[in-house]
Amino acid sequence: MKLVISDLVAYSALGVVVAGQDVNDTANGMADVIQGKADCASVAAIFARGTFDSGNIGVWVGPQFFEELSARIPSVTLQGVDSTAYKADLDGYLSDGGSSDGAASLASTVNDYNSKCPDSAIVVSGWSQGALVAHKALEQVSSAALNKVAALVTFGDPNGVFSNISLPTSIPSSSFSSSCVTGTVFDPLCAQLPGDFKFPTLISDIVGPFASLPHITVGAQQAEAAASLVAQFPGQLADSWDSFVSNLAPEQFVRLMLTPQHFTYGNNGMAAEAADFVAGLSAVQSAQ
């Protein structure tokens, strides 16, 4: 708790925390183009939200990343993974290792967009479970569309503690940006765990850190989402405990460690850094 607050002070000192930021948790730009309601944009970005996140891009990372992309790329269209196909629930995260239906939906949107706009560069992105969905989706994107995928951008990416899906061969590692909070107070879902790391074994070890989540929120929607997570997550976890959580090996319990650091990517400067990365890619520059 102390450490979280000192982190926040550090972020504030850097001017990174944006007070009272309002976000829109929905983006349907690529669907509008596919349906003929809008023209092709030079760059199209699709984002998969994390577990429990609202709308189709959520409130924690998607809107902030998209705002930073819009500030850097004049012709960009932004999209979330269809929320009717991708529920972003705990079961999809733990049982599927990232919703398979969500991955299929992401891939299908990318394929349809590429058929309509074959010259556009495509950015596939996601946070938390959404990062897993993004990795999985790349295995299902058509080869024509895969040739236009300029970047895979993930935040708090748990791929390493799930099935370690590798990049398609057509996507070089230099096109992959994976943001992770590391250091003394780290995000256990993506950071290298210290040798003396104490793996959680009880529900209380996992939900305990949630008590400090409300302290790291920015804006009314994040505050509301944090309150809802604190209210819902322990109960959902308790309900699921016997069915799949009890089958996890100790090292796999880390998959459930949604610490407050995991929720900071939209506000800690990393969304802006990831947008810099995308805007600097030659495939993105040459598409414009």
Structure tokens at 238: 């308790």
Q: Which residue has the tokens 């309509």?
A: 116
C-alpha span between 276 and 278 (Å, rounded): 5
> How many amino acids of this chain bind ligand NAG (CB under 6 A)?
7
φ/ψ of 213, rounded to 5, equals -55, -45
Over the window 108 to 147, marking each residue x when it contacts ligand NAG by CB under 6 A and - when it does not, the resulting string is: ----------------------------------------
From the list 39, 166, 215, 243, the catalytic residue is 215
Q: Is 128 a catalytic residue?
A: yes
Q: Which residue has the tokens 């939209």?
A: 266
Contact between 182 and ligand NAG by CB under 6 A: the answer reads: no
Single out the residue of 6, 12, 24, 286 in contact with ligand NAG (rule: CB under 6 A).
24
Contact between 28 and ligand NAG by CB under 6 A: the answer reads: yes
Task: Residue 132: count other Cβ atoms within 10 Å of its Cβ.
Answer: 30
Contact between 184 and ligand NAG by CB under 6 A: the answer reads: no
CA atoms within 13 A on the CB side of 13: 6
Q: Is 215 a catalytic residue?
A: yes
Cβ at position 27, least distance to ligand NAG in Å: 6
Instruction: Output 21 or 26, the one with its CB closest to ligand NAG.
Output: 26
Stretch that binds ligand NAG, among 20-28, 34-42, 137-145, 239-247 (CB under 6 A): 20-28
Instruction: Output 164 or 169, the one with its CB closest to ligand NAG.
Output: 164
Stretch that binds ligand NAG, among 23-31, 67-75, 105-113, 212-220 (CB under 6 A): 23-31
Single out the residue of 26, 70, 240, 285 in contact with ligand NAG (rule: CB under 6 A).
26
Over the window 144 to 173, marking each residue x when it contacts ligand NAG by CB under 6 A and - when it does not, the resulting string is: ----------------x--xx---------
Contact between 246 and ligand NAG by CB under 6 A: the answer reads: no
Cβ at position 12, least distance to ligand NAG in Å: 27
Structure tokens at 137: 């989706």
If 0-12 CB within 10 Å is exposed, 13-18 middle and 19+ buried, where does residue 13 land?
Answer: exposed
At position 51, the amino acid (one-letter code) is T
**121-127/43-48 β-pairing:** parallel
Answer for the pair 236, 245: CB distance below 8 angstroms, yes or no.
no
Alpha carbon 140 to chain centroid, angstroms: 19
Contact between 285 and ligand NAG by CB under 6 A: the answer reads: no
Q: Would you give the end-to-end CA distance of the chain in angstroms?
A: 45
Instruction: Output 7 or 157, the one with its CB closest to ligand NAG.
Output: 157
Q: Is 262 a catalytic residue?
A: no
β-bridge mates for residue 47, sequence order: 80, 125
Answer for the pair 83, 102: CB distance below 8 angstroms, yes or no.
no
Stretch that binds ligand NAG, among 26-34, 46-54, 82-90, 183-191 (CB under 6 A): 26-34
C-alpha span between 176 and 211 (Å, rounded): 33
Contact between 247 and ligand NAG by CB under 6 A: the answer reads: no
If 0-12 CB within 10 Å is exposed, 13-18 middle and 19+ buried, where does residue 73 land?
Answer: buried
Which residue numbers are catalytic?
A: 128, 187, 215
Residues in touch with ligand NAG (CB under 6 A)? 24, 26-28, 160, 163-164
